[in-house]
Amino acid sequence: MQCPKDRKTTLMDGTLMGQLPVLCCPDCQGAWLPPQSYGEWQEHQPSVDDPSELIDRVLETDATPSPTDGIASLCPACKCYLARVKVSTKTPFYLERCPNCKGIWCDRGEWEVLEKTGLHRIIDRLFSTEWQALVRERELFAQERRATIEKLGPELAARIFELAEVLAQHPNGDFGVAYLMRRFDQ
């Protein structure tokens, strides 16, 4: 099997984390995760309880995209175009997956970022529209927080966030929100 990026280097047997058998490119250091070996490994991983928390972690993570990240490529197994999905680290990068055989390609360094953030357990989910919608929601939420910190300063912003949390958990929290809105309507 050839590297999907340069289409001439032969992929070699390797493992990720010493337990997931993959095919590695000795040239660009990318890794091909055969669908069966990823599926079997994934079955033994703990499930993800709070995807929002995971996405927030991703948004805060630094990543340096590999030079091969921008190259469109064909599946090394069945030659379909690989589908790309954005991973929204501070500098985003793209993961690739074959829509046909479901094999996954990670450019150099991408698996390490996935592992650090916990996304490595759910790579298949990242390609779903539900996941992408949730990412956009968390991105907006993070933007709003940043804007609030910018306008109010970190101390007051922290008090606002805390108050929002308290109100959200209080059974009559909406009364508090209504009070604040009325207070500033005048």
Work out how close the CB of 27 gets to Zn ion at its nearest, in angstroms, rounded to a whole number: 5
Work out how close the CB of 68 gets to Zn ion at its nearest, in angstroms, rounded to a whole number: 7
Residues present in the chain in total:
186
Q: Does 101 bind Zn ion (CB under 5 A)?
A: yes
Looking at the Cβ atoms of 74 and 142, the one nearer to Zn ion is: 74
Residue range at the interface with Zn ion (CB under 5 A); choices 25-33, 117-125, 143-151, 160-168 = 25-33
**DSSP bridge pairs for 10:** 2
Q: Does 27 bind Zn ion (CB under 5 A)?
A: yes
Per rule CB under 5 A, count of chain residues that contact Zn ion? 12
The total of other beta-carbon atoms located within 10 Å of residue 69's CB is 20
Q: Does 124 bind Zn ion (CB under 5 A)?
A: no
Binding-site member from 25, 55, 58, 119 for Zn ion (CB under 5 A): 25
- Token pair, residue 80, equals 């379909």
Binding-site member from 98, 106, 126, 135 for Zn ion (CB under 5 A): 98
Side-chain-side CA neighbours of 32 within 13 Å: the count stands at 27
Residue range at the interface with Zn ion (CB under 5 A); choices 26-34, 59-67, 151-159, 163-171 = 26-34
**DSSP bridge pairs for 97:** 83, 104
Contacts by 136-143, CB closer than 8 A, 24 or more apart: 138/52, 138/55, 138/56, 138/59, 139/59, 139/88, 142/56, 142/59
- Token pair, residue 155, equals 């101390």
Looking at the Cβ atoms of 6 and 139, the one nearer to Zn ion is: 6
Where on the chain is the footprint of Zn ion (CB under 5 A)?
3, 5, 9, 25, 27-28, 75, 77-78, 98, 100-101
